Amino acid sequence: MSYFDHPDFDDHEHVSYFADPDSGLRAIIAIHNTVLGPAGGGCRMWDYASDEEALRDALRLSRAMTYKIALAGLPGGGGKTVIIGDATRDKSESLLLAIGRAVQRLGGRYIIAEDVGTTPEDMETIARETDFVVGRPGESGDTSPATGYGVYLGLRTAVARKLGTDALEGIRVAVQGAGNVATYLCQHLHEAGARLAIADPNEAAAGELAEKVGATIVSPERIYDEECDVFSPCALGAVLNDETIPRLRCSVVAGGANNQLAEDRHAEALAARGILYAPDYVLNAGGIINAYREAIRLSQADSPGYDESWALEQVERIAATLDEILDIADRESITPDRAAARKVETILEEARSRAKPQSATSARA
């Protein structure tokens, strides 16, 4: 099968494979769309089962970045780096420097940041080889607090629409994952009085988080069956599929994981069960919003740099964006996922129209 025929290719502008024998680096950088500006996206290091799985993740994640950046109203596009390897075993200084050189060769079309398997400190190392990096310590740093806050705001908005209450007191939320984003989300939910259940394969992480927020622990295999008001996927993607959707016992799905739907058609499957799905790329945009303020310095020499108060103010707009998308979905009798996609398509088409050069006839006129 040609890469152009790959089901997740979606007219990506650029896909590069990078290898560095000395460090063991094997990585893919995917740039989905730059019509609004340079592509931005995190660097994920994961022990993929195959190169095909890594490619699929890079393509899906970079496309999701285009969508979340467009809906956040930022002048940029979507990209992603995936490094094939176990971050606890294979990550090294030489590997990070090699990925920095790879990013530099793209000449600014793509700006890298941290993601699953990488850290702000890793970005500091990568910055020794490239100018095009954000998320370093002392600047925007860890994107998880902003992402978790944005997911919380979106979840609260979805609950208000579906359950008719602005308060989360007593609302039952089943959280899949106990990583950084899930931790910040759970802290906000706990402070709002929500009742939490948490599942994560890492039993120690799940136990530590559960103790902090007074949650019960559920096995990863049973989290889909947990009776709750909100199911919140905050781990890896494709968890909403033919096998899991019939098991859900919730009214709302709202979480921070990327690409929660295994396929687009699963949005319809959720709607058929009366479950309101808040599109993940709307809710989890807080991280890229947070990093954007730092990224401005790459194109504006006089930029003041990272500004946390500005970033959090922009993250708070996620609630209004979701409300607008839910209004479109209700008005047009389509799923929220389709409504969000239509809005993105409109934004990108308008940008393409503005970028088109005038025809010779128009120029003479």
What CA–CA distance (Å, rounded) separates 192 from 173? 12
- Structure-block tokens of residue 31: 């740039």
Which alpha helices (H) appear in 216-279, and where do they start and end? 266-272
Task: Provide, for the chain, the percentages of residues in helix, strand and coil under a 3-state DSSP scheme, each rounded to the nearest 5.
Answer: 45, 15, 40
Two tokens at 361?
Answer: 């006839």
Compute φ and ψ for 331, nearest 5 degrees.
-65, -35
Residue 79 has phi, psi (to 5 degrees) of -145, 170
**Which residues lie closer than 8 Å to 33 by C-beta, 6 or more apart?**
12, 13, 39, 66, 77, 78, 348
Check if 80 is active-site. yes
**Pairing of β 216-217 and β 276-277:** unpaired
Six-digit token string for 116: 């699953």
Cβ-contact 82, 44 below 8 angstroms: yes
Continuous H helices in the chain: 51-71, 93-105, 120-126, 144-163, 180-191, 203-213, 266-272, 280-283, 286-295, 308-315, 318-332, 336-355, 360-364
d(CA 153, CA 264) in angstroms, rounded, equals: 24
| Whether 123 contacts 135, CB under 8 Å | yes
Distance between CA 196 and CA 193 in Å, rounded? 9
Q: Answer whether 343's CB lies under 8 Å from 71's CB.
A: yes
Count the residues in the chain. 365
Query: Of the residues 68, 80, 91, 162, which is catalytic?
Result: 80
Judge residue 361's burial from the number of C-beta atoms within 10 Å of its C-beta, 0-12 exposed, 13-18 middle, 19 or more buried. exposed
Supply the residues annotated as catalytic.
80
